[in-house]
Amino acid sequence: MAGRGKKYRAQVDKIDKLRRYGFEEAAQLAVDCAYAGFDESVELAVKLGVDPRHADQMVRGTVALPNGVGKEIRVAVFAKGEKEKEALEAGADYAGSDELVAKVQEGWLEFDKAVATPDMMGAVGKLGRILGPRGMMPNAKLGTVTFDIARAVTEIKAGKIEFKVEKAGIVHASIGKVSFGVEKLLENIAAFMDTIQKLKPPASKGVYFRGIALSSTMGPGIKIDPVYIKDLLSR
């Protein structure tokens, strides 16, 4: 394990590489293997039996994590008039119309998520090359293009996350912080896995959950046996 520090190697020794763990034991190991001097995030990676090259096998959506993600999400809302006011009252960090679009065009990106009203999408569409590659472009399918601005902002602030399967068939998600503890992490993992399960494309044949791994930001990956998903969701 050339290039890895002593602290990392010490955590690897706690994990049986040949074993696939249950969710609770894996969550406990992820917490125990966190060694950085900051509150590490806990990351979940799920390998799915889909081919994202085919539109009918795309897995994409949102999920509201019951315990949030453990960090403040800065929300920018593209809206005008009463909807701009509604956004700010709901807790949006920034709100505006054409002037906000112009600000982003000039390079300002001090936010994590963007929401827009449908009547603003003509202007917001100009930001596609800026927001698209960063996964920040408002999308009606994900609930971020809507006139129900208050609800969209509230859900994002409370811990609603977006996910999309990658070319290799893997979905990645940050599902909390080490400081959450095992129980809260399991609640978030259950919400995420339940959503992924419900989004199984009819065109996906064979085994849907091919592999699952959990890790803290700096810690080693811990393999989980998909057979334990049923037990997790019945908790």
| Comparison of pLDDT for 4 and 233, the residue scoring more | 233
- Which residues pair with residue 164 across a beta bridge? 60
Distance CA 193, CA 9 (A): 30
Beta strands 113-116 and 75-78, pairing class: parallel
Domain holding 111, by residue range, is 75-157
For residues 171 and 107, state if they share a domain: no
3-state secondary structure of 114: strand
Mean pLDDT, rounded, for 208-227: 96
The answer to whether residue 81 is domain-embedded is yes
In the chain, which ranges are E strands?
41-48, 60-64, 75-78, 94-96, 113-116, 160-164, 170-177, 209-216, 222-224
Question: Tell me: the pLDDT tens digits for 81-117?
Answer: 999 999 999 999 999 999 999 999 999 999 999 999 9
Please report the pLDDT score of residue 168 as a whole number.
94
Domain count of the chain?
2
Query: 15 CB contacts (<8 Å, ≥6 apart)?
Result: 29, 33, 220, 222
Question: Tell me: the pLDDT tens digits for 179-206?
Answer: 999 999 999 999 999 999 999 999 998 9
Distance CA 114, CA 111 (A): 8
For residues 209 and 107, state if they share a domain: no
Please report the pLDDT score of residue 3 as a whole number.
59
DSSP 115: E
pLDDT > 70: percent of the chain: 99
Last residue of a domain, one of 157, 187, 203: 157
The answer to whether residue 10 is domain-embedded is no
For residues 174 and 139, state if they share a domain: no
φ, ψ (nearest 5 deg) of residue 197: -65, -40
For residues 225 and 174, state if they share a domain: yes
Q: Please, are residues 229 and 44 in contact by the beta-carbon 8 Å criterion? A: no
SS (H, E, C) 72-86: CCCEEEECCCHHHHH
- CATH number for the domain spanning 101: value is 3.40.50.790
Distance CA 186, CA 42 (A): 11
For residues 112 and 211, state if they share a domain: no
Would residue 81 be called left, alpha or beta, if left means φ above 0 and alpha means ψ between -120 and 50 degrees?
Answer: left
Question: Tell me: the pLDDT tens digits for 219-233?
Answer: 999 999 999 999 999
For residues 32 and 86, state if they share a domain: no
The answer to whether residue 208 is domain-embedded is yes
| Amino acid of residue 128 | G
DSSP string over 130-141: HHGGGT-S--GG
- CATH number for the domain spanning 206: value is 3.30.190.20
φ, ψ (nearest 5 deg) of residue 122: -60, -40
Last residue of a domain, one of 129, 157, 185: 157
The answer to whether residue 104 is domain-embedded is yes
pTM: 0.85
For residues 97 and 168, state if they share a domain: no
Q: Identify the sign of the CA torsion 134, 180, 152, 98.
A: negative
Q: Please, are residues 216 and 59 in contact by the beta-carbon 8 Å criterion? A: no
Distance CA 147, CA 99 (A): 19
